[in-house]
Amino acid sequence: MVTSESRKKLATMRDVASVAGVSHQTVSRVINNSPNVKLKVREKVQAAIDELGYVPNVAARRMGGNRSYLILALNDRARTLDNWRVGRGNDWVDQMLFGGMMACEENGFRMIFELVNAENPAASKHLAGAIASLRPDGVILTPPHSENQDLADLLVANGTAFARIGSSGKEDGINIAMDDHAAAKAATDFLHDLGHRKIAFIAGSAEYLASTARLEGYRAGMAQADAPIAPHWEQPGDFTFESGAAAAARLFASEDRPSAIVASNDEMAFAVLHEAARHDIAVPKDLSVISFDDTPGVRFSVPPLTAIRQPISAMATRAAEELIKQQGILPAGSQIVLPFELTARGSTGPAPE
Amino acid sequence: MVTSESRKKLATMRDVASVAGVSHQTVSRVINNSPNVKLKVREKVQAAIDELGYVPNVAARRMGGNRSYLILALNDRARTLDNWRVGRGNDWVDQMLFGGMMACEENGFRMIFELVNAENPAASKHLAGAIASLRPDGVILTPPHSENQDLADLLVANGTAFARIGSSGKEDGINIAMDDHAAAKAATDFLHDLGHRKIAFIAGSAEYLASTARLEGYRAGMAQADAPIAPHWEQPGDFTFESGAAAAARLFASEDRPSAIVASNDEMAFAVLHEAARHDIAVPKDLSVISFDDTPGVRFSVPPLTAIRQPISAMATRAAEELIKQQGILPAGSQIVLPFELTARGSTGPAPE
DNA sequence: GCCTAAATTGTGATCGGTCACAACCTAAAA
DNA sequence: TTTTAGGTTGTGACCGATCACAATTTAGGC
């Protein structure tokens, strides 16, 4: 006969109260750092808490008050699944997990991930369900959900604070992004400083605001360097390997071949390297390549990619912090810009003289 | 003046009950698929649920009943942090997230990640706090937490169901792993089939049971192939790049140099490739390399690594499923073995004649 | 020393589910 | 027809926090 052992009963707030000889409400005040508690009492209560190893039950806190101590992070399921299937890992999820968790942990919050297919029209319903079920104190939207206004509208209507990551220019929520324009300009400047003047650009999907910002940044860099842009140097792309390869092929086939290429993400940059190898173009001797994202793979390519890193982790931390601490303090539509980072590796070098 | 808009009030079980004209308890029965509800009533209630868009509040469910609909996944913070810092991504977290989430979602559960530093002696306390706070219905331990008996003891004492991943032979909890012995043997067989007879092995840290299992598997493979093992072919290692490089250096410096190497993880295999390049040993012409893990990076190395993949995602799914559905059905100490997968890539080839 | 305002502590209701149990209804057995 | 067992529905207590508010203590000003 197996005796189904029951769950161990843990100390409750009332237990602490009776040990400390105070009311349960006073214990609550100590837990929540309420200012109006005498030092003597606070110490007595704290001693009882330590003695019993008391930790407040988050479900009960949610029931009594109107906070859940939960932050919900919405990630794209399709993208994540896809990356995972290809065995490429998922930088976003990793870094979101980290950055978000750091901030949550420091404030007694938890982070819950929700993977929602962005292409699914029922995404709103999915989010609504998660909110009703968990009642999170804040929601973090990651690309491409950040661009989905339906979700934002739902959150506004529902009265749930939210932050968008990797998106800017929106008029509701808190928006955290890096300066894509400045980053693309920095990439261009970097190449220019190496002596390059014939610099091409492979763009990302137009649905992402970041894509156009990067294109503009590239143009600004070229303008400042007083370097004219040949028409075919601005190649379209959609963040996929294939589109990068096609763009590279077009650039290599052209008359006025660039000596450097700025790719809007790592994957397209990998494609450029691949295509360059096929055309016997040596990197970085004959061609420099620089890209956006700085995903884990960049250090394994041949040569390793010089890349600009989006501060995903820092953005997640900031998002969580804002949602936790500053609720209602930052006005809706606030824009927060975090710095990017350019890491030079083997794929860039001086311009062929 | 900013009017702090309050949180939208959502439908409750009582709301549904009054719309459907039944008691709240009947609604609860419908929600929980209780068998004793008349079809007519069930339909009426379901209609009311749909009409109001009702979703049960998970915190309230936890309060009333003794289930939280939460699964806690314990990952190593140090390892994760480190990986992330090196920009290498974190396969484990990615796949745990996925595999676990799939299973949770299908059963109305949520998964919460907890990052705990395994080297910190307060790990138990950390876990105890998380349990007291969240009261999860199950906990999943990942390496190296899987090997920490203190944690398991705590969970047993506490009456919380748990599953270990990547660990076997334990007498409590549910243990899910791949067959490391068989996998190592398969790797050896694979090389043997390519004509190799001089096969070396670089071991992992001895603290991991998997390490010894892999070593044994290698030996079994060699024995079956009737290939003698030169003493220095069994090299120690600790899963780090440095240890892999040192092991490779020793192997290359030796008289009876192997034509193939089985490395206990990808990182040490990368080190082998690195060291081989330094010694002008061509891979796979002069040396074949095969490794464990099959992390995202393997396809970016030169050449891409032939590797054995641990079914992390599947293990996480299984772990979550067992914790959710089978609670108390599987006896403590159950062992579940999931299949591995060997993917051949460029780092292995026929033995030099 | 007295009165008032502020600081500190305590009381009971409440959140939204589940649980235990009582009440009712139905159909098969006596 | 009556009994009985079982299926079906309803009732009120309860989980463990917080909230609103009442009660008490303390401190400041006269």
Phi, psi (deg, nearest 5) at residue B170: -80, 155
Q: Do B300 and A297 lie within an 8 Å CB cutoff?
A: yes
Q: What is the pLDDT of residues A195-211, one digit of tens each?
A: 999 999 999 998 788 89
Cα A255 to Cα A232, A252, A268, A280, B91, distances in angstroms: 10, 8, 22, 16, 43
Nearest CA in chain A to B304: A300
CB B259 within 8 A of CB B286: yes
Q: Give percent of chain A with pLDDT exceeding 90.
A: 69
DSSP B6-68: PPPPPP-HHHHHHHHTS-HHHHHHHHTT-S-S-HHHHHHHHHHHHHHT----HHHHHHHSS--
Phi, psi (deg, nearest 5) at residue B231: -55, -45
The Cα diameter of chain A in Å comes to 86
Nearest CA in chain B to A298: B300
CB A175 within 8 A of CB A164: yes
Give the nearest partner residue to B94 out of A89, A132, A328, using CB atoms. A89
The per-residue pLDDT for B82 is 59
Average pLDDT along chain A:
89
Which residues sit opposite A202 in a β-bridge? Answer: A235, A263
Q: Do A93 and B88 lie within an 8 Å CB cutoff?
A: no
Distance A336 CA to C13 C1' (A): 42
Phi, psi (deg, nearest 5) at residue A53: 65, 35
From A48's Cα to the closest Cα of chain B, the distance in A is 16
Q: Do B87 and A299 lie within an 8 Å CB cutoff?
A: yes
Enumerate the residues of chain A whose CB falls inside 8 A of the CB of residue B115.
Answer: 98, 101, 105
CB B271 within 8 A of CB B248: yes
Q: Do A89 and B89 lie within an 8 Å CB cutoff?
A: yes
Nearest CA in chain A to B82: A98
What residue spans of chain A are helical by DSSP H? Answer: 13-20, 24-31, 39-52, 58-64, 77-85, 91-106, 123-134, 149-158, 180-193, 209-224, 241-253, 266-278, 312-325
Enumerate the residues of chain A whose CB falls inside 8 A of the CB of residue B89.
Answer: 89-91, 94, 295-296
Which residues sit opposite A343 in a β-bridge? Answer: A307
Query: Does residue A24 approach strand D to less than 7 Å at its CB?
Result: yes
Give the nearest partner residue to A53 out of B5, B53, B128, using CB atoms. B128
Distance B169 CA to D23 C1' (A): 61
Distance B325 CA to C26 C1' (A): 33
Q: What is the mean pLDDT of residues A234-255?
A: 93
Cα B335 to Cα A59, B151, B332, distances in angstroms: 33, 18, 9
Beta strand pairing call for B341-343 and B306-309: antiparallel
Rounded to whole angstroms, the Cα distance separating A300 from A297 reads 5
From B302's Cα to the closest Cα of chain A, the distance in A is 8
Rounded to whole angstroms, the Cα distance separating A217 from A187 reads 9
Give the nearest partner residue to B296 out of A60, A297, A301, using CB atoms. A297
Q: Do A81 and B66 lie within an 8 Å CB cutoff?
A: no
Distance A14 CA to D17 C1' (A): 10
The continuous run of DSSP H or E covering B174 comes out as strand B174-178
Rounded to whole angstroms, the Cα distance separating B271 from B18 reads 68
Cα-based torsion angle of the residue sequence A10, A15, A16, A21 in order, rounded to the nearest 10 degrees: -170
Joined tokens for residue A48: 């009882």
Q: How many CB pairs under 8 A join A and B?
A: 141
Nucleotide nearest to A45 (CA to C1'): C9
Rounded to whole angstroms, the Cα distance separating A35 from A33 reads 6
Enumerate the residues of chain B whose CB falls inside 8 A of the CB of residue A110.
Answer: 112, 134
Q: Which nucleotides of C are covered by protein (CB under 7 A)?
A: 7-20
% helix, strand, coil for chain B, step of 5: 45, 15, 40
The per-residue pLDDT for B327 is 59
Q: How far is CA B188 from the centre of its chain?
A: 24
Residue of B79, B95, B113 for testing the chain A interface, max A β-carbons within 10 Å: B113
Query: Does residue B41 approach strand D to less than 7 Å at its CB?
Result: yes
Q: What is the pLDDT of residues A296-343, one digit of tens each?
A: 767 767 788 999 998 888 999 999 999 998 655 778 888 999 999 999
Q: Do B4 and A328 lie within an 8 Å CB cutoff?
A: yes
CB A142 within 8 A of CB A95: no
The per-residue pLDDT for A64 is 92
Cβ neighbours, 10 Å, residue A326: 12
Nearest CA in chain B to A332: B2
Q: Do B133 and A57 lie within an 8 Å CB cutoff?
A: yes
Q: Do A84 and B63 lie within an 8 Å CB cutoff?
A: no
Return per-residue pLDDT of chain B as tens, 353 residues: 233 456 778 999 999 999 999 999 999 999 999 988 999 999 999 999 999 999 999 999 999 998 999 999 998 876 655 555 554 456 777 788 889 998 999 999 999 999 888 888 888 999 999 999 999 999 999 988 998 999 999 999 999 999 999 888 889 999 999 999 999 999 999 999 999 999 999 999 987 888 999 999 999 999 999 999 999 999 999 988 889 999 999 999 988 899 999 999 988 998 999 899 889 999 899 999 999 988 776 776 778 899 999 888 899 999 999 999 865 577 888 899 999 999 999 999 999 97
Amino acid type, B48: A
- Taking alpha carbons only, the member of B195, B200, B190, B191 closest to residue B256 is B200
From A50's Cα to the closest Cα of chain B, the distance in A is 12
Beta strand pairing call for A306-309 and A341-343: antiparallel
Rounded to whole angstroms, the Cα distance separating A173 from A152 reads 8
Q: Is the pLDDT of residue A3 over 70?
A: no
Q: Is A222 exposed, middle or buried (0-12, 13-18, 19+ CB in 10 A)?
A: buried
Query: Does residue B134 approach strand D to less than 7 Å at its CB?
Result: no
Give the nearest partner residue to B297 out of A62, A158, A300, using CB atoms. A300
CB B347 within 8 A of CB B283: yes
Q: Going from the N-terminus, what domains does chain A have, and what CATH number goes with each?
A: 13-56 (1.10.260.40), 70-177+312-340 (3.40.50.2300), 180-310 (3.40.50.2300)
Beta strand pairing call for A174-178 and A161-165: parallel
Q: Do A84 and B98 lie within an 8 Å CB cutoff?
A: yes
Enumerate the residues of chain B whose CB falls inside 8 A of the CB of residue A4.
Answer: 328
Rounded to whole angstroms, the Cα distance separating B292 from B224 reads 21
Counting Cα atoms < 13 Å in the Cβ hemisphere of B84 gives 23
Phi, psi (deg, nearest 5) at residue A114: -130, 125
Sheet containing strand B260-263, edge to edge, reads B234-235, B199-202, B260-263, B288-293, B306-309, B341-343
- Taking alpha carbons only, the member of A283, A305, A284, A286 closest to residue A296 is A305
- Taking alpha carbons only, the member of B239, B76, B93, B82 closest to residue B147 is B76
Give the nearest partner residue to A68 out of B59, B298, B300, using CB atoms. B59
CB B307 within 8 A of CB B294: yes
Nearest CA in chain B to A62: B59
Q: How far is CA A151 from the centre of its chain?
A: 17
Distance B94 CA to D17 C1' (A): 34
Q: Is B122 exposed, middle or buried (0-12, 13-18, 19+ CB in 10 A)?
A: exposed
From A74's Cα to the closest Cα of chain B, the distance in A is 13
Cα A13 to Cα A67, A333, B309, distances in angstroms: 18, 40, 47
Nucleotide nearest to A20 (CA to C1'): C9
Q: Do A58 and B56 lie within an 8 Å CB cutoff?
A: no
Rounded to whole angstroms, the Cα distance separating B348 from B196 reads 10
Q: Do A59 and B115 lie within an 8 Å CB cutoff?
A: no
The number of residues making up chain B comes to 353
Rounded to whole angstroms, the Cα distance separating A342 from A184 reads 10
Q: Do B98 and A80 lie within an 8 Å CB cutoff?
A: yes
Rounded to whole angstroms, the Cα distance separating B204 from B202 reads 7
Nucleotide nearest to A64 (CA to C1'): D18
Q: What is the pLDDT of residues A32-84, one digit of tens each?
A: 999 889 999 999 999 999 999 999 999 999 999 989 999 999 988 766 555 55
Distance A21 CA to C10 C1' (A): 12
Phi, psi (deg, nearest 5) at residue B78: -60, -50
The per-residue pLDDT for B206 is 87
Distance A154 CA to C6 C1' (A): 43
Distance B152 CA to C4 C1' (A): 60
The per-residue pLDDT for A81 is 58
Q: What is the pLDDT of residues A111-132, one digit of tens each?
A: 999 988 888 888 999 999 999 9
Amino acid type, A136: P
- Taking alpha carbons only, the member of A17, A156, A5, A90 closest to residue A296 is A90
Which has more pLDDT, A264 or B78? Answer: A264
Rounded to whole angstroms, the Cα distance separating B13 from B62 reads 15
